[in-house]
Structure 1
Amino acid sequence: MKMKGFTLIELMIVVAIVGIIASIAYPSYLGFVKNGKRSAAQADLMALAAAMQRHKAGVFSYNGAASGGGNTGAPAVFHTYSPSSEPSANKQYNLSIATVNASGTSYSLTATPVSGTSQADDGVLYYFSDGRKGWDKNNNGSLANDEYCWKC
């Protein structure tokens, strides 16, 4: 009588192959998730910039666009977190108006990763009113000349 089935060695080989594939694929998957969340923050920064333009069209200045009528801090003209399409409990970045010049004609916006999330060590994203974009890719607290882009 001939028995059909798998031997223990065959099953161990299959488990080893699945383990090797998973050890390669999982870090890559996490990288794609992190990039997706960063892309959502970039889109939210662009939407915040559009809200800043609408604010300026109404009052002829970027001044007063922050919470409480202030010039800097959490925006009053847009969501304060990203991804803005999800509940605040899922936030990965805090959005803020970092600077507005004295005459109210230029600004800089930031998306700062929330500590305790998968984005925590990803570096701050910047958007400037003149269209420049920056990403503190090495997360050292300042933008180097080669970090004035979002895809560098």
Structure 2
Amino acid sequence: MVVVAILAILAAIALPAYGNYVLVGKTRTAQADLRALSAALENHRQRTLSYPTATPANVAAIKSAFPAWSPAAKAADFGFSVNSSGSGYTVTATGAGKLSGCTLTLKQDGATTNSGCLVGW
């Protein structure tokens, strides 16, 4: 009986910690996807001397505009958008499901923000 009680206590501690660990991992994946998307925008700037003026608002549109970019984050976890002008851009990842309320942004000058996420940049 004592063993069962000890296992129950360990499970009560370990399961929530594991759940947070998984959510932090998904957030880190979205951050890496934003950096990769930023690299695609910077590559465009190097080739054309300006940032693209398109503002794709979902993963399919972004992949169409930047075929080399392929997000590792699942669509069920994060949505991505780009707001770009000839002189700058902001890329955004917005959490969904258990990550709802988590918003990550990255700008052309390297400035990052996060709101409602378990982990910062």
- Shorter-chain TM-score bucket reads 0.7 to 0.9
Separation (CA, whole Å) in 2 of partners of 1:50 and 1:110 = 14
Does the Cα contact within 8 Å between 1:55 and 1:62 map onto a contact in 2?
Answer: yes
Question: How far 1:120 sits from its partner (Å)?
Answer: 2.2
Higher-RCO chain (CA-CA 8 Å, sequence separation at least 6): 2
Tell me which residue corresponds to 2:78. Answer: 93
What one-letter code is carried by the residue in structure 1 that aligns with 2:111? Answer: R
Gaps of 5+ in 2: none
Per residue, is there more helix in 1 or in 2? 2
Identity over the aligned pairs, expressed in percent? 32
Question: How far 1:92 sits from its partner (Å)?
Answer: 1.4
Separation (CA, whole Å) in 2 of partners of 1:36 and 1:132 = 21
Cα root mean square deviation, aligned: 2.1
Aligned partner (choices 98, 105, 120) of residue 126 of structure 1: 105
Tell me which residue corresponds to 1:73. Answer: 57
Tell me which residue corresponds to 2:90. Answer: 108
Gaps of 5+ in 1: 1-11, 65-69, 139-148
Q: State TM-score, norm by structure 1.
A: 0.66
Question: How far 1:95 sits from its partner (Å)?
Answer: 1.4
Aligned partner (choices 56, 59, 77) of residue 48 of structure 2: 59
What one-letter code is carried by the residue in structure 1 that aligns with 2:11? Answer: A
Separation (CA, whole Å) in 1 of partners of 2:36 and 2:120 = 16
Secondary structure in structure 1 of the residue aligned to 2:18: helix
Instruction: Tell me how many residue pairs correspond in the alignment.
Output: 113
Per residue, is there more strand in 1 or in 2? 2
What one-letter code is carried by the residue in structure 1 that aligns with 2:34? Answer: L
Does the Cα contact within 8 Å between 1:82 and 1:91 map onto a contact in 2?
Answer: no
Q: State TM-score, norm by structure 2.
A: 0.81
CA distance 1:118–1:137, shift in 2 (3 Å): closer
Secondary structure in structure 2 of the residue aligned to 1:118: helix
